[in-house]
Amino acid sequence: MILNVVDTRNRQISQLFSTELMVIRICCPSCNQSIPVPAQVKGRFARCPFCEEIFKVPRVVLPFISVRRFLDHERELELRALLRALLAGVVVTVALTTTFGVIWMVTHPPLKDTHSSSGNFEDAIYQNSPDHLKALSDSYLREHGLQGPDQTTKDLGENLARISPQQRLVPFENLPDLVEHVEPAVVRITTYGKEKGTASGFVIHPTGIVITNYHVLIGVEEAHVLFHDRQLLRVLGSLHLAPEKDLAILKIDTPREDFPALQLAPNPPRKGTEVMAFGAPLGLSFSTTRGIVSGVRVPAEMRQTGISLNVKWIQTDAPILAGNSGGPLVNLRGEVVGVNTITSGPDSQNLNFAIAADEIHGVLHLASPVAMPLTK
C-alpha cells in the first residue's frame, strides 16, 4: 500500500477525514460479470449481485484498484439542504398546478351535449379551437367550395349547421311531389377497385358533400356519382370514414355550390310513420319504394340478430335490395330519417333496416377539412 503522507501527523489527519480501501475486480464464474469486491475477501466466499451465485474468491487477483472515499461532513450537509429545496419545489409545483387546474375548470365549463339540445356541437368545437386551426378550416372552406368567396367571415360550425336547419319542412301533399323533391339529391355511386360495384348515397350539403355506407367503399380505388339529370362527377375523396357506424362522408370533385341537398330529421320517427326508400337496387338507378317505420331498434336488440354495429336502427317494411345501400330513407316531409343499409333477403322481404339519422349528426363534426384519397 502506498500512502500520500510523509509524516505521522499527516497520517493521523488523513485517517480522521478519509478511509482507504483496496478493491479487487473479479469475474463471476457463473454469469461472467465483472464484480468489484474488497481485497480482504480473497480466499473467502462471496455472492454475485447479478446472478446471486456463491463462489470462492481466489487468493491472488490482479490488478488492484485503490479507492479513496472522502467523508466530507460539509458536503453532506449541502447535499441534504439541496434535497430539501428540491422537495419543497415539487410540493409548490403540485400545489400551483392543482390551483390553476381548479380555476380553469371553473372558468371554462365543458361543452354542452347537443344530442339533447338544439345547439350545434360543431359550433362549440370550432369556437374552442386554437386560432391556427380556425384559420386552416377557413382557408380550406374558401378553396374547396364549402363557403362562397364573399363569406370570408363564415366558419366551419356555421357551414355544418346549414346541413340541419331548425325550420321543419311542410309535409308533401302527395308522393309524386315528395319524389320530385328528394330525387335530385340522390346519387348512384359506381365504385372501381378489384371489382366494379354499385351503391347509393345522397347530398347532405349544397357544395357536394355526400353521405353513404362505409362498406360500399371497402377496397375501392376510385368512385363516381351519377345524378338523376345524368350528370356524372368524380368523387374527390372522403372527409370522414366511420367503419364502426358503417357511415362515410364523401366530397364530390366540383366547384358547384348549388347541389340540391336533403335535410336530416331532427327527431327519430315514430312507429307507423310513412317512409320512402331511394336508391339504385340491383343497379336500377333512382328507384323508390314505400313503407312504414316498423320500429326503432337499439344496438342490444340488433346483436340478437347477428348485427353488431353500435348504432341506432330504423326498422322498415319498405323494400331494400342490394344497391340501395347508402341511399336515404325519408319521411313525408322529405327529411332523412335513416341510411338504407340491411335487408334480410327474400325470405324476410318486409324486414329491412336503415341506420338512424341521429348517427349522421354524430359523425359530421368529425369531417376532415381535407378530402383524403379513397382507400386502396
State yes or no: is 215 an active-site residue.
Answer: yes
Beta-carbon contacts of residue 172 (< 8 Å; ≥ 6 apart): 178, 181, 332, 333, 334
The answer to whether the CB of 276 falls within 8 A of the CB of 288 is: yes
Strongest mean pLDDT among 118-122, 142-146, 254-258, 344-348: 254-258
Of the candidates 293, 280, 292, 316, which has an alpha carbon nearest to the alpha carbon of residue 183? Answer: 280
Q: Is residue 191 part of a domain?
A: no
> Does 133 share its domain with 62?
no
- Report the number of distinct structural domains present in the chain: 4
- Between 118 and 14, name the one with better pLDDT: 14
State the catalytic residue, choosing from 215, 224, 228, 240. Answer: 215
> Does 29 share its domain with 85?
no
Sign of CA dihedral 330, 238, 116, 261: negative
Q: Is residue 14 part of a domain?
A: yes
Q: Is residue 136 part of a domain?
A: yes
Of the candidates 128, 174, 164, which has an alpha carbon nearest to the alpha carbon of residue 274? Answer: 174
Q: Is residue 344 part of a domain?
A: yes
Angle at the Cα of 235 from the Cα atoms of 230 and 239, rounded to 5 degrees: 135
> Does 66 share its domain with 101?
no
If pLDDT is split at 50, 70 and 90, which confidence band does 3 have? very low
> Does 16 share its domain with 79?
no
Q: What number of H helices and E strands is found in the chain?
A: 8, 17
Task: Tell me the C-alpha to C-alpha distance, in Å, between residue 195 and each of 143, 221, 282.
Answer: 33, 10, 15
The rounded distance, in Å, linking the Cα atoms of 281 and 188 is 10
State yes or no: is 246 an active-site residue.
Answer: yes
State the catalytic residue, choosing from 246, 285, 287, 294. Answer: 246
Q: What is the residue type of 284?
A: L
State the catalytic residue, choosing from 123, 238, 325, 358. Answer: 325
Of the candidates 117, 154, 198, 144, which has an alpha carbon nearest to the alpha carbon of residue 367? Answer: 144
Residues of the domain holding 48: 8-70
Answer whether 0.85 is exceeded by the pTM: no
51-55, 107-111, 264-268, 287-291 — which is least confidently predicted?
107-111
Average pLDDT, the chain: 78
The rounded distance, in Å, linking the Cα atoms of 238 and 257 is 18
10-14, 165-169, 175-179, 283-287 — which is least confidently predicted?
10-14
The rounded distance, in Å, linking the Cα atoms of 187 and 211 is 10
If pLDDT is split at 50, 70 and 90, which confidence band does 135 have? low
Task: Tell me the C-alpha to C-alpha distance, in Å, between residue 100 and each of 86, 97, 316.
Answer: 21, 5, 53
* Four-CA torsion 278, 282, 285, 290, nearest 10 degrees: -30
Q: Is residue 122 part of a domain?
A: yes
10-19, 76-85, 270-279 — which is least confidently predicted?
10-19
> Does 80 share its domain with 66?
no
Mean pLDDT of 304-322: 89
Mean pLDDT of 202-225: 95
> Does 301 share its domain with 349?
yes
Q: Is residue 208 part of a domain?
A: no
> Does 284 share its domain with 343?
yes
Q: Is residue 368 part of a domain?
A: no
